[in-house]
Amino acid sequence: MCIPTRRLQHLTLDRESLGSLLPELLPSFLPTQRWYGARSTPVRNASVIDVIPIPDADIEAADVLTKVLSIDGAEGVYQLVLGIADPRAIPERFVLAKLELPSRTACLYDVLGIPSDCERILRTLQRRSALAGSQARVRIDWTAALAEMAPPFRARPLDSEQSNSSIVFGERAILKVFRRVEPGTHPDVEVTRFLTAVGFADIPRYLGELSYASPDGSVSTLAGIQEYVANDGDGWADALRRIRAYLDDPTPGRLRADAAVARELGITTAQMHLALATPGADSAFAAEPITGVDLNRWRQGAIDALRRATPALGDAHLLDLIPAVESLLDALAAVPNPGRKQRLHGDFHLGQVLRAADRWVIFDFEGEPSRPIAERRGKHTPLRDVAGMLRSFDYAAFAVLFERAQPAEAAWHQLEPLALAWEEAARQAFLQGWTDTVRDTHAAPSDASSTSLLLDALELDKALYELGYELDHRPGWLPIPLHGMKRIISRRRV
| Order of strands across the sheet that contains 130-132 | 130-132, 137-142, 206-213, 219-227, 173-178, 164-169, 155-157
**What is the per-residue pLDDT for 315?**
59
pLDDT tens string 99-112: 888 888 899 999 99
Nearest in space to 178 (alpha carbons), one of 234, 129, 226, 227: 226
Question: 38-47, 124-133, 303-312: which has the minimum mean pLDDT?
Answer: 303-312
CB atoms within 10 A of CB 9: 6
* Helix (H/G/I), strand (E/B), else coil: 70: strand
Quote the CA–CA distance of 347 and 353 in Å, as a whole number: 11
CB atoms within 10 A of CB 45: 13
Share of the chain above pLDDT 70, in %: 97
Residue 446, pLDDT score? 85
Please say whether the beta carbons of 4 and 99 come within 8 A: no
CB atoms < 10 A from the CB of 431, how many?
18
Picking from 211, 206, 168, the residue whose alpha carbon sits closest to that of residue 188 is: 206
Encode 161-182: b = buried (16+ Cβ within 10 Å), e = exposed.
eebbbbbbbbebbbbbbbbbbb
For 235-493, which CATH superfamily applies? Aminoglycoside phosphotransferase (APH), C-terminal lobe (3.90.1200.10)
Entry field: residues in the chain: 494
pLDDT at 475: 83
Q: Count other C-beta atoms under 10 Å from residue 390's C-beta.
A: 24
End-to-end, the C-alpha distance of the chain in Å comes to: 57
Return the pLDDT at 464.
87
CA atoms of 320 and 302, how far apart (whole Å): 18
Rg (CA), the chain: 25
**Residue 329 pLDDT greater than 60, yes or no:** yes
pLDDT of amino acid 12: 85
Residue 317 has pLDDT above 60, yes or no: no
Q: Is the pLDDT of residue 270 over 60?
A: yes
Between β-strands 75-85 and 180-181, what pairing exists: parallel, antiparallel or unpaired? Answer: antiparallel
Contact assessment for residue 32 and residue 1, using Cβ atoms and an 8 Å cutoff: yes
Element (H, E) at 473: helix 448-473
> For residues 102 and 78, is the Cβ–Cβ distance under 8 A?
no
Calpha distance 371→337 (Å, rounded): 28
pLDDT for 47-90, tens place per residue? 999 999 999 768 899 999 999 999 999 999 999 999 999 999 99
Interatomic CA distance for residues 127 and 140, integer angstroms: 10
- Quote the pTM value: 0.93
Q: What is the pLDDT of residue 331?
A: 87
The whole-angstrom separation of Cα 14 and Cα 433 is: 55
Taking only the tens place, the pLDDT of each residue in 336-388 is: 889 999 999 999 999 999 999 889 999 999 998 878 898 899 999 999 999 99
Question: Exposed, middle or buried: residue 360 (CB in 10 Å: 0-12, 13-18, 19+)?
Answer: buried
Angle between helices 383-404 and 479-493 (to 10 degrees): 130
Q: What band does 473 get if pLDDT is binned at 50, 70 and 90?
A: confident
Q: Domain 120-227 is in which class?
A: alpha beta
Contacts of 134 (CB under 8 A, 6+ apart): 14, 15, 50, 51, 52
